[in-house]
Structure formats: structure tokens, C-alpha cells
């Protein structure tokens, strides 16, 4: 009776899971496995918030498997060694997985593949996280894209991707000895700061499906406008679920297409702007795959000459803690600390403030996001930070410095978002809320900090530094 191992990683779902589907179709016994190997993620082992998510997502996956007379076998340590032990224990002749695209994961998977094949084990890798594999889209000259719009035009023409796969029927499993309890992976924080995360999120495939349903019922109909308003639930909030592969872009696309075709003309959602955002996610993976040094190196080498300010731990700490004295920046950083997530527009504003007004290197911000975001994702985070700093592919022009006051007036005109995250200013009149420094006495009374920099002067210093390299 043939046995296969299915190695779960960033594909923590049962439906539309090509590796699981192929293994179940071809083998009488299938053992779902997760090997916790943070050392194999190079310089980017999961941060605190994503470890929290991973714990709960693995629990949800195991629960789903057990309801289908299967289960998730947990190990930790060297992946190759763990797989070899399991092959010896089960007699498995094949290993299946879905691909990852981070440079360290690609290097590890390449080694795994050759070592396992070398001992006569069949290895099957599948694409599950993207509409299109990064190497399937190329310019007319066969080069990777560096600009989003033509990339998106090419990718859009290839959609819809193949229909999502249904959940497979799981064949029997017999769990071998040596499996660990989930708690042994030590993913949860020892000092429990994670109450806010639990309040906001339900990791796992069911939680992802529920959020998609909520989005399809409501926010998708006004996404083009609502996506920019941080006080609203105007976006899908699916990013951590996508990162962990609890839902696939194919499933999202199929659900939204069905919705659009079923709706009457008046209620037909315009799904294009939403698909385009998923297109940015694909582009980020395309960039990371083709330019694997970009998590630590500027995409645009000219920025090597930019005169960043010297690292300033005190300034960085004020930014991290949401104590800069600039309300929209502080609201965003506190939302992040409490919930593990931040609205996209606010991410751009806090990143612009750090890299331009404070002139701190974008990597300080990227590292903090890496540790605190539940959706921390090497491809999206790298592209987001480089885009804002101006050194990325198709980046915002260097002279764009977001003005947090203008942005707050435009995208949070009633101050609901600011009041929610800044209790010191919750009952302040709107004018004070947007520019509290205009009444320092009130700010002192309320315990809200004075601004750490003056916005216009710090903007000018950034422009001067950028102008030097633009020349």
C-alpha cells in the first residue's frame, strides 16, 4: 500500500491545496506533516505576531484533518532529517509540498529535493499561493517585470486561473511515533501580550472563509472608495490568511466572479480594483523571486548613496510606540501594536514618516513590521517599504512625502480612526485632533506628546537628501 508525506508550510488549508490533492489521488496512505524549522528561514524567521498566528492556524488545520479521520503530525528541527525519519517509520515513497518563494526557502527546498530524490523518493512540488508562478510572466524580451502596470496587464489577461480544487477525500493515516504536541513548538509568547490579536482574528481556513463571505456581502461593493478609509472595514483583511495559505487567490477570484455574475446589474460589484490589489501581491512575489537580495538591498542601486540620518534608537522607539506626537502616525502604530495589523493607507503614512521625516533607513521599519504584523510577508513587506522609501521597483517618486495632517483630513475627515486609537484625544475637537501641537497646554493636560519633528522642516531635509542622489 503506497504512502506519501504531505509537507504543509504556507498552505494551511484543505481545499484548493494542489499538493494534498495530488497525494490523496495517488496514494492509499497520506501523512500530513508540519516541520517547525525557523533556522531554515535564514535572516527572516517568523516574528512574534506571525508565530502567534501560526500556532492557531496549525491547531485549526489539525482540527480540520481530525474531523476527516486524519491529523497533522508535528516535528521540529532539520526538515530533511525529520522527513527521513518519517520515511523510515512509514515506508513512504513520495513527498508532496506546495512551493514557497523566499530565497532561503527556495535554497532549502532545492536541497531537500535533491537529497530525497537521491535516496529514491519521489518529490512533487506544486504552485498554490499565486495565480501565476513568478517565472511564468516575462516581458517581451524574456526579462522579469520591474513596473507594475505592464506586469498587471499581462497577468490580468491570463485570468481566471484554473478553477480551485475541491477538498480531497483523505485516505487513512496511521500516525507514527515521535509526533510533538503543538505546545512543544513554543510559538506563543511567554508573557501574554496577545489578547488584542485574539480579539481581532480567527486564524485558520474557516476564519478566512468567513472574512471572504463578509467582504463579498458588503465591502466589495464600495471597495474602490472604501479601501482608503481606515475607520471603515472597507478592505477584506484577508492578508494574514493569504500569507499562511488558509485561502488561495484562486478561491477568492472564483468567489467574487460568482458574486458578480449572480448579482443583478444594480448590485454588481466592481471586482477589478480588488483583483488589482491581489495583482500587487503577485508582483511582490515576482520581484522577490527574481531579485532575491531586495529584503536587505535597495532595488534601485542609486539609493546606496542616500544620506540617511544616523540610526536613532530613541526616535525609533517613539515611532514604534505611537508616541511621535503626529496623530495619524501614532494611531497607526498603536493599531499595529494592539491588533497586529494596520490599514494600507496608514502603513504608507507611517512608513513615509519614518523614512522621510525622520530619515531612518527603511529596514528599521521593515524589521519592526516583520515582528509585529500578523500578515508579515517577505515579498509584500519588502516591496511596501521600498516603494514608500522611493528605492523600490516602480516606487513612489522620492519627492512624495505623505503629509499626515492632509491625509487625516482627507481619509479620516470625522476623526473616527484617530479617536479610536488615541484615547488621550478621543473627545478632542476635530481641529485639535488633526493638529494637536497648535494647543500645547491642552496636549500636556491630556498627556499627548509634543511632535518629535516639525513636519514642513523635516520634509525639506528629506527632499534635500533625496535631491542629492537624484542629481
Ligand X SMILES: Cc1cc2nc3c(=O)[nH]c(=O)nc-3n(C[C@H](O)[C@H](O)[C@H](O)COP(=O)(O)OP(=O)(O)OC[C@H]3O[C@@H](n4cnc5c(N)ncnc54)[C@H](O)[C@@H]3O)c2cc1C
- Please choose, out of 3-11, 166-174, 276-284, 432-440, the segment that lies near ligand X by the rule CB under 6 A: 276-284
∠ CA 352-272-278 to the nearest 5 degrees?
50
Establish if 243 lies at the interface with ligand X (CB under 6 A). yes
Distances (CA, A) of 98 to 13, 31, 211, 371, 428: 11, 15, 24, 25, 51
What residues numbered 201-230 form the site for ligand X, per CB under 6 A?
Answer: 227
Please choose, out of 64-72, 372-380, 399-407, 417-425, the segment that lies near ligand X by the rule CB under 6 A.
372-380
Residue (40 or 375) nearer to ligand X, CB: 375
DSSP H helical ranges for 201-311? 205-217, 223-226, 239-243, 249-262, 272-290
> Is the four-CA dihedral 322, 323, 326, 327 of positive or negative sign?
positive
Report which of 403, 401, 429, 404 is spatially closest to residue 415, judged by C-alpha positions: 429
Region of 150-158, 162-170, 376-384, 425-433 interacting with ligand X (CB under 6 A) = 376-384
| 357 vs 335: CA distance, rounded Å | 21
DSSP letters spanning 376-402: --HHHHHHHHHHHHT-STTPPPTT---
Q: 96 or 215, CB closer to ligand X? A: 215
CA R_g for the chain: 23
Q: Is 376 in the site for ligand X (CB under 6 A)?
A: yes
Strand order in the sheet with 122-126: 73-76, 29-36, 3-7, 94-98, 122-126
Q: Does 394 sit near ligand X (CB under 6 A)?
A: no
Would you count residue 145 as binding ligand X (CB under 6 A)?
no
- Total of residues contacting ligand X (CB under 6 A): 28
- Which stretch, 5-13, 56-64, 136-144, 275-283, contacts ligand X (CB under 6 A)? 275-283
Residue with Cβ nearer ligand X (20 or 284): 284
Binder among 129, 238, 275, 328 for ligand X (CB under 6 A): 238
Binding mask 319-358 for ligand X (x = CB under 6 A): -------------------------x--xx--x-------
- Least Å distance, CB 428 to ligand X, is 27
Binder of ligand X out of 102, 375, 394, 412 (CB under 6 A):
375
Active site residues: 277, 280, 308, 344, 362, 385
Quick one: cell of 51? 508565530
Binding of ligand X by 373 (CB under 6 A): yes
Least distance in Å: CB of 317 to ligand X? 19
- Is position 385 an interface residue for ligand X (rule: CB under 6 A)? yes
Of 14, 216, 358, 388, which one interacts with ligand X (CB under 6 A)? 388
Q: Which is nearer to ligand X, 116 or 395 (CB)?
A: 395
β-bridge mates for residue 29, sequence order: 3, 172
Q: Of the ranges 25-33, 299-307, 319-327, 370-378, which one interacts with ligand X (CB under 6 A)? A: 370-378
Answer for which of 47, 230, 269, 384 binds ligand X (CB under 6 A) is: 384
DSSP-derived secondary structure for 138-187 = --TTSPPP-SHHHHHHHHHHTPSPSPPPPPPPP-B--PPTTPPPGGGG--
Smallest distance, ligand X to C-beta of residue 234, A = 8
Cβ proximity to ligand X: between 75 and 253 the closer is 253
Options 235, 320, 339, 355; binder of ligand X; rule CB under 6 A? 235
CA dist 462 to 221, 323, 324, 329, 466, Å? 39, 21, 17, 17, 6
As a whole number of angstroms, the distance between CA 294 and CA 277 comes to: 21
Q: Are 223 and 235 in contact (CB under 8 A)?
A: yes
Overall residue count recorded for the chain in this entry: 471
Residue 97 lies near ligand X (rule: CB under 6 A): no
Distance CA 147, CA 282 (A): 12
> Minimum distance from CB of 130 to ligand X (Å)?
11
Grid coordinates representing 198 are 485574539
b vs e for 179-211, b when ≥16 Cβ sit within 10 Å of the residue's Cβ?
A: eeebeebebeeeeeebeebeeebebbbebbbeb
Q: How far from 87 is each of 2, 82, 385, 454, CA to CA, in Å?
A: 12, 9, 42, 62
| Position of minimal CB gap to ligand X | 384
Q: Hey, which residues does 75 pair with through a beta bridge?
A: 35
Decide: helix, strand or coil at residue 36: strand
Cβ pair 29, 90 in contact under 8 A: yes
Applying CB under 6 A, which of residues 284, 328, 393, 422 lies at the interface with ligand X?
284
What track of x and - describes contact with ligand X for positions 105 through 134 (by CB under 6 A)? ------------------------------
**Count of CB atoms within 10 A of residue 449's CB?**
18
For residues 30-49, which are near ligand X according to CB under 6 A? none
Query: Least separation, in Å, of the C-beta of 24 and ligand X?
Result: 28
Minimum separation from the CB atom of position 186 to ligand X (A): 23
Span near ligand X by CB under 6 A; candidates 8-16, 45-53, 169-177, 277-285? 277-285
Give the residues lining the site for ligand X (CB under 6 A): 227, 235-239, 242-243, 277-278, 280-281, 284, 344, 347-348, 351, 369, 373, 375-377, 380-381, 383-385, 388
Amino acid at each position: 500500500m503506497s504512502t506519501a508525506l504531505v509537507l504543509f508550510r504556507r498552505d494551511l488549508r484543505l481545499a484548493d491545496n494542489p499538493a494534498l490533492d495530488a497525494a490523496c489521488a495517488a496514494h492509499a496512505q497520506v501523512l500530513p506533516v508540519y516541520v517547525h524549522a525557523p533556522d531554515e528561514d535564514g535572516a527572516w524567521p517568523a516574528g512574534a505576531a506571525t508565530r502567534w498566528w501560526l500556532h492557531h492556524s496549525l491547531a485549526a488545520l489539525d482540527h480540520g484533518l481530525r474531523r476527516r479521520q486524519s491529523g497533522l503530525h508535528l516535528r521540529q528541527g532539520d526538515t530533511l532529517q525529520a522527513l527521513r525519519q518519517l520515511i523510515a517509520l512509514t515506508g513512504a515513497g513520495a513527498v508532496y509540498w506546495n512551493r514557497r518563494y523566499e530565497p532561503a526557502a527556495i535554497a532549502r527546498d532545492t536541497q531537500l529535493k535533491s537529497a530525497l530524490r537521491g535516496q529514491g523518493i519521489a518529490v512533487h512540488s506544486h504552485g498554490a499561493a499565486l495565480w501565476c508562478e513568478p517565472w511564468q510572466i516575462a516581458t517581451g524580451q524574456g526579462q522579469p517585470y520591474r513596473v507594475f502596470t505592464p506586469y498587471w496587464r499581462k497577468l490580468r489577461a491570463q485570468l481566471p486561473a484554473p478553477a480551485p480544487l475541491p477538498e480531497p477525500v483523505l485516505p487513512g493515516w496511521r500516525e507514527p511515533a515521535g509526533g510533538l504536541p503543538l505546545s512543544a513548538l513554543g510559538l506563543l509568547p511567554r508573557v501574554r501580550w496577545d489578547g488584542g490579536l485574539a480579539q481581532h482574528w480567527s486564524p485558520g481556513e474557516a476564519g478566512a472563509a468567513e472574512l471572504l463571505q463578509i467582504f463579498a456581502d458588503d465591502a466589495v461593493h464600495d471597495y474602490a472608495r472604501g479601501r482608503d478609509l481606515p475607520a471603515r472595514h472597507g478592505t477584506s483583511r484577508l492578508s494574514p490568511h493569504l500569507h499562511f495559505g488558509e485561502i488561495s487567490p484562486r478561491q477568492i477570484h472564483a468567489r467574487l466572479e460568482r458574486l458578480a455574475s449572480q448579482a443583478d446589474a444594480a448590485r454588481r460589484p466592481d471586482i477589478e480594483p480588488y483583483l488589482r490589489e491581489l495583482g500587487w501581491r503577485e508582483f511582490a512575489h515576482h520581484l522577490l523571486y527574481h531579485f532575491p537580495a531586495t529584503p536587505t538591498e535597495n532595488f534601485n542601486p542609486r539609493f546606496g548613496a542616500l544620506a540617511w540620518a544616523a540610526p536613532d534608537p530613541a526616535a525609533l522607539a517613539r515611532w514604534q510606540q505611537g508616541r511621535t506626537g503626529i496623530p495619524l502616525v501614532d494611531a497607526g502604530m498603536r493599531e499595529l501594536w494592539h491588533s497586529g495589523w494596520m490599514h494600507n493607507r496608514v502603513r504608507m503614512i507611517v512608513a513615509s514618516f519614518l523614512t522621510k521625516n525622520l530619515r531612518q533607513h527603511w529596514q528599521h521599519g521593515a524589521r519592526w513590521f516583520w515582528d509585529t504584523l500578523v500578515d508579515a510577508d517577505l515579498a509584500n513587506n519588502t516591496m511596501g517599504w521600498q516603494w514608500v522609501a522611493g528605492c523600490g521597483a516602480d516606487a513612489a517618486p522620492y519627492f512624495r512625502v505623505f503629509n499626515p495632517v492632509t491625509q487625516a483630513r482627507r481619509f479620516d475627515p470625522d476623526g473616527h480612526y484617530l479617536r479610536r486609537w488615541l484615547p488621550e484625544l478621543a473627545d478632542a475637537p476635530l481641529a485639535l485632533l488633526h493638529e494637536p501641537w497648535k494647543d500645547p497646554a491642552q496636549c500636556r493636560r491630556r498627556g499627548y506628546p509634543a511632535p518629535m519633528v516639525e513636519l514642513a522642516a523635516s520634509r525639506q531635509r528629506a527632499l534635500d537628501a533625496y535631491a542629492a542622489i537624484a542629481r
